[in-house]
Amino acid sequence: MGKRVLLVEDEPNIIEAIRFILSRDGWAVETHSDGATAVDAVLAAPPDVLVLDVMLPGKSGFDILRELRAAPATEGLPVLMLTAKGQLRDREQAERYGVNSFMTKPFANSEVLETVNALFEGATGAA
């Protein structure tokens, strides 16, 4: 079975950049842009890795992460959080809620690819 990533992001340019980077590496990339329904989307078809923006319409990435960590089905889901702000308190809040990795926009394409692959390998034990 292939590697699946769900990208919860509302900025079209970021969506296309990440989709291109990951799909070229063999990932099946699904996207979701509404924070209010993101938890339902994750629970309906849990991905191998979740890439989650902090600022989303309807519900923040922090709230989404907190809900996912509280659900048994997704408490161990590898999550990479993206933010345009990159303030220390955002990183600290994400870590309190159980994020696996945190990245500030703009990011290097290679950094996203390496991080998503590392999260997948750490979760599955794949080498």
Superfamily (CATH) of domain 3-122? Response regulator (3.40.50.2300)
Segment 89-103 shows an average pLDDT of 95
Segment 9-14 shows an average pLDDT of 96
Segment 79-95 shows an average pLDDT of 91
pLDDT in tens, 32-76: 999 999 999 999 999 999 999 999 999 999 999 999 999 999 999
**Model confidence at 104, in pLDDT bands (50, 70, 90)?**
very high
Residue 100 is predicted with a pLDDT of 97
**Model confidence at 124, in pLDDT bands (50, 70, 90)?**
confident
- Indicate whether 116 pLDDT > 90: yes
The H-or-E segment that residue 20 falls in is helix 12-24
Q: What residue spans define the domains of the chain? A: 3-122
